[in-house]
Structure formats: structure tokens, C-alpha cells
Amino acid sequence: MTKPSIELISFNLCPFVQRSIITLKKKGIDFKITYIDLANKPEWFLNISPLGKVPVVRYGHDVLFESAVINEFLDEITPESLMPSDPLEKAKERGWIEYSSQVITSQHLMSVSDDQGDYQQHRHAFIERLSTLENIITGEGFFNGNGFSLIDSALAPIFTRLRIIEDRFNLRLLANFPKLAALSERYLNLDYVKNSVVEEFEDIYIKYLIDKNSFLAH
Ligand SMILES: N[C@@H](CCC(=O)N[C@@H](CS)C(=O)NCC(=O)O)C(=O)O
């Protein structure tokens, strides 16, 4: 029986889409990518996406949504699982994947805030969340202290954006977090993380922040 085809419906700046691309590339899965404009969602997309959000995966005739669910599915249909097999460890990992979604949200709110007060408030929330991560990681290997797993797919997009923000706006948001700084370095050196965004990502991201009149970018 031929395997169903995989199509990832995408938006070029979305960190949640990036999570799925990391997993697809890490696991060597063939897929097609279709970009849509979220400011002008096509009718066919609204018909298949219950929440109107990307990522969505078309798996043959089936449709999957929610990045954490998509990633677990992709992991389960391919060998060499990126999730712990022990139910307790797996539950813990799912908790941190959910947590990382909140970190992504804090980072987004900080980056697009268009006044100083909002920026300071969201920056504080973002730093607090990073601090929680700093306190639970070991400083060895990836998030779990050893090999790359789905929590790493979920977290790495934060560091792709953080590196750009730090470099372009001369910030040192990881200055007090040596273990996270080392983890970021490890992520950003991986081919499947480097290649999980479009080639011109940095310019598109900066333009997006400027167009949003972001305090950070001005
Ligand atoms: N919980 C979702 C979040 C996905 C999400 O927020 N996607 C954003 C783009 S990064 C989106 O599609 N937003 C469109 C909208 O809200 O209208 C997931 O993990 O997949």
C-alpha cells in the first residue's frame, strides 16, 4: 500500500509551523509545503482548518491541526521515536511542550508591542518564562539532558527569533541564562533547525516587526 502524501499548510513566519518542519526534517519525512497569507486566508484553507490557524497537515485525505498533535503523529508513524516511552516521562514532556507554546506567545507579544509600557510588561513575562526553563534544564545535551526530542522541536523556534532580535537590536536577553544560551547554540547549529525557515526569514521577520510599528524595532 502506498503511503499517504503529507502536505504542510504554512505561513512563513509562524513558529508553530516551524515546529512541524523541524520534526519532518529531523525524521527525514517527505512532504510538500504550501504557504498561505494569514491576512487573507483562502476559502479552501478555512474549509479544512477548524481554528483557521496554521499549521495544518493534509495526510492523504485526512486533516490534522495543532502543532503538538501533528508532531506526535509524525513521530509515531516513523521509526526512532522522539518521545519517551514511559507514560510519566511522556506526560511531563507534553506539559513542557504546552509550556513552550506560552513562551512563544510571550515572545511574540514582546516583539510586536508598539509602546514602551507594553513592551516592558511582555519582556518581563518572557524573561520569567525563560528563567523557569533555565532552572529545570540540566545544561547537558538537549532539553531532557540527552538526545533531541519533541520538546526540542517545540522550543527551538523561540531561539531562531531570539538570535535575530539579539543581533539586530543589540539585546542580551539570554545573558543571565547560561544553560539556555548553550541550548540555543546547540539548536541553531542543527541543519534541521537551520533549514526549518525560509531562506530570507531574517529580513521578512524584521520587516514584519517594523510594519507592526514594534517598539523593539524602532
Ligand atoms: N496552538 C496552535 C497555535 C497555532 C497558531 O497560533 N498559528 C498562528 C500563526 S503563528 C495562526 O495561524 N494564526 C491565525 C489566526 O489566529 O487567525 C498550534 O500549536 O498549532
DSSP 189-210: T-HHHHTTS-TTHHHHHHHHHH
Closest among 26, 55, 24 to 142, alpha carbons compared: 26
Choosing from 8, 9, 14, 155, which is the catalytic residue?
Answer: 14
* pLDDT by position in tens, the chain (length 218): 688 999 999 999 999 999 999 999 999 999 999 999 999 999 999 999 999 999 999 999 999 999 999 999 999 999 999 999 999 999 999 999 999 999 999 999 999 999 999 999 999 999 999 999 999 999 999 999 999 999 999 999 999 999 999 999 999 999 999 999 999 999 999 999 999 999 999 999 999 999 999 999 98
pTM, two decimals, is 0.97
From ligand 1's centre to the CA of 175, what distance in Å? 29
From ligand 1's centre to the CA of 66, what distance in Å? 8
**Using a 6 Å cutoff on CB, does residue 53 contact ligand 1?**
yes
Counting ligand 1 atoms within 8 A of each CB, the residue from 23, 54, 96 with the most, and so the one to mutate, is 54
The DSSP result for 1-48, as a single string, is: -PPPPEEEEE-TT-HHHHHHHHHHHHTT---EEEE--GGG--HHHHHH
Counting ligand 1 atoms within 8 A of each CB, the residue from 11, 13, 21, 53 with the most, and so the one to mutate, is 53
The pLDDT of residue 218 is 82
**Using a 6 Å cutoff on CB, does residue 16 contact ligand 1?**
yes
Q: For residue 68, which atom of ligand 1 is closest to its CA?
A: 19
From ligand 1's centre to the CA of 140, what distance in Å? 31
Gap between the Cα atoms of 94 and 96, Å rounded: 5
51 catalytic? Reply is: no
Domains and CATH numbers, the chain: 6-76 (3.40.30.10), 87-211 (1.20.1050.10)
From ligand 1's centre to the CA of 139, what distance in Å? 30
For residue 4, the one-letter residue type is P
